[in-house]
Structure 1
Amino acid sequence: MDDDGELSLEETLMLMYAAVGGIFLWLIFLSLIVFFHVRQWLSLDKPSYTNLRTDEGTSDHDVDQGPGI
Structure 2
Amino acid sequence: MSIEINHSVLSTLRWRKSTHSGDGTQCVEAAFLETATLLRDSKLEASPVQVFSHASWTALLSGLKSQ
TM-score w.r.t. length of structure 2: 0.27
Relative contact order higher in (CA < 8 Å, ≥ 6 apart): 2
TM-score w.r.t. length of structure 1: 0.27
Greater Rg, structure 1 or structure 2?
1
